[in-house]
Chains A and B, each alone.
Chain A
Amino acid sequence: MINVALPKGRLGEKVYEMFARSGYECPELLEPNRKLIFTNEEKGISFFWVKPSDVSIYVERGSADIGVCGKDILLEYEPDVYEFLDLNIGKCKMMVAAKKEFYDFKDKTLRVATKFSNIAKKYYESKSRDIDIIKLNGSIEIAPILGLSDVIVDIVETGATLKENNLEVKEIIAPISARLIGNKASFKFKTKEIENIIKRLGELVKND
């Protein structure tokens, strides 16, 4: 039995669709009910929905053998897991944004508002820039507008929210997309099954 942690939400549904098309369907998963774990005994697979940022925790600690989560989560938490595949869906970018007129004079500590404090810290460390991290949990875009921060580090899909608020992308830190990850120990004992899933899902990945 392979346990799969899927991220709740739109991305997770897309990912499940890929699993279903590869022959790992579990129809009851899409029915409206309050169940938490969905198993297809015949196919030897079991799915469960968790908060997207928790997927890597379930996988790293072995409660899930494999899982799917955004590269942003992997960059932020740096879990000790295998990263088997780039599923090339849920694509967006991790970037630095600020008000249009903002210019970084580099003569003072840069105030950075973000949900991703580890990513921000590492990025500015690599540039030897002194920063003050302001950890927020949502609505990051409002921080520079209210003067809480100089810039924000966040994921951007279309840039529409930024545009509407007179913000723009200043630097791109990394491209983000959904990744298939796996627990290192589980892979040793379920090698064949997991390799099969990687192979079949890999065939469905659209490369552009």
Chain B
Amino acid sequence: MNNLKNYEKAVFALREIYLSYGYLPYKMSKFEEYDLYLKNKEFLVSDRVITFTDTNGKLLALKPDVTLSILKNASGEKQKVCYNENVYRVSSGTNTFKEIMQTGIECIGKVGLYDVYESVLLACKSLESISEEYVLDISHLGIINKLLQGQDSVFVEKILVALSEKNKNAIMHACKEYDKQDMQSVLVELATLYGDVKQVIQKLESLDLIKYAQELKDIYNLIKDSKYYNKINVDFSLTGDINYYNGIIFKGYINGIAESVLSGGRYDKLAQKLGKTCSAIGFAVYLDLLENFNYTPSEYDVDTLIIYNDTVSEEEIIKAVNENLSFGTVRVQQEIGTLRYKKLLALGDKK
């Protein structure tokens, strides 16, 4: 197990966690009909997908997302599944397609408060299994949905972007431009509201907004005595597409990784869009981000390097290999080459 890479260890650890809470493994096909993504492209992180034509002429896509595929097949029955899949999407920095290893859970069907709590708990446990130094940011879209209900769509778009940037100036500009000065102070307040769950809830109570995010308070009550409590922060700059998400949403961060490694939330609206009557909550962990995290390159490529020449019989080589395997890895070749080794064993006379 010591030879495993960071993200490989994480795959095992995460699967253990999800299985222990009764989430069943779900294996998906690599492809999906392109149509599914076309209809829901705003739900995707990037609307560009790798497409190709199937043998029957249907346009298929390499999966850019897992949630849509699981939700598409949901029946009315309660489902708790976990998965570990590669997805293909454009990375923002480089503008090229990237293969992203993603693991996560989905809870579909009738979603109660316990299920929401369980998702938050499993998100914390997932982060904890990667590093002790983590933060789970949590937000509730109820408030922002209520505030922006029925407003001009361009205005809504501007406010959501400004919120996600914690950009007070942009909020003030947008409110001025659209003549919504009455909303300005509360929106600015939301953008900068960050930190301890209890304090934020008190603040929301004083602003008379908590009634739109009662769930946040319920979750707080369920988790306040656990060791995970002080790892959770409320952050209202956390937004999602309000056409898909509703209720609790969250993002996880690990100290030392520049992006969020975990992302998820409640997406009843996406389920409705797909013609389902069920609710859904889930999250994904982006394992590719762990590649450079705490990376310590090994000092050697192999423990024992055995080189031999024509005078050496195969039996001698096999004997030498078997003798050295107990000390670690063994590599056999004719020349030393550029390999870094701990111990060198030269068989035969070197002339």
Contacts and interface: CB of A to CB of B under 8 A. Distances in A.
Q: Is chain B's interface secondary structure helix, strand, loop, or mixed overall?
A: loop
B258 A62 contact: yes
Interface residues of A, number: 19
A8 interface: no
Contacts of B254: 185
| Interface size classification for chain B | 20 to 34
Contacts of A189: 133, 135, 253, 255
B2 to A, nearest CB: 28
A61 B93 CA distance: 9
Nearest to A177: B169
Contact of B237 (A82, A86, A191): A82
A150 interface: no
A183 interface: yes
Contacts of B209: none
B69 interface: no
B338 interface: no
Given A188-B137, A189-B133, A84 B166 contact: yes
Interface string B88-119: 00001100000000000000000000000000
Contacts of A63: 258
Given A81-B165, A189-B135, A60 B93 contact: yes
Interface string B320-338: 0000000000000000000
A81 B253 CA distance: 14
B135 A60 contact: no
B257 A185 contact: yes
A56 to B, nearest CB: 11
B212 interface: no
B43 interface: no
B170 A184 contact: no
A25 interface: no
A3 to B, nearest CB: 12
A80 B92 contact: yes
A85 B135 CA distance: 24
Contacts of A61: 93, 258
B259 interface: yes
A83 interface: yes
Interface in A53-73: 57, 60-63
Given A82-B237, A188-B137, A60 B258 contact: yes
B167 interface: yes
Interface in A159-208: 183-186, 188-189, 191
Contacts of B195: 191
Contacts of A57: 93
Nearest to A57: B93
B233 interface: yes
Given A62-B258, A183-B258, A188 B165 contact: no
B277 interface: no
A123 to B, nearest CB: 14
B260 interface: yes
Interface in B141-199: 165-170, 194-195
Interface string A137-160: 000000000000000000000000
A63 B167 CA distance: 22
Interface of B: 92-93, 133, 135, 137, 165-170, 194-195, 233, 237, 253-255, 257-260
28 contacts: A57-B93, A60-B93, A61-B93, A62-B257, A62-B258, A63-B258, A80-B259, A81-B165, A82-B165, A83-B165, A83-B169, A83-B170, A84-B167, A86-B169, A183-B258, A184-B253, A184-B259, A185-B253, A185-B257, A185-B260, A186-B258, A188-B135, A188-B137, A188-B233, A188-B253, A189-B135, A189-B253, A189-B255
Q: Which A-B residue pairs are the 6 nearest by beta carbons?
A: A62-B258, A83-B167, A188-B135, A83-B165, A86-B169, A82-B166
Interface of A: 57, 60-63, 80-86, 183-186, 188-189, 191
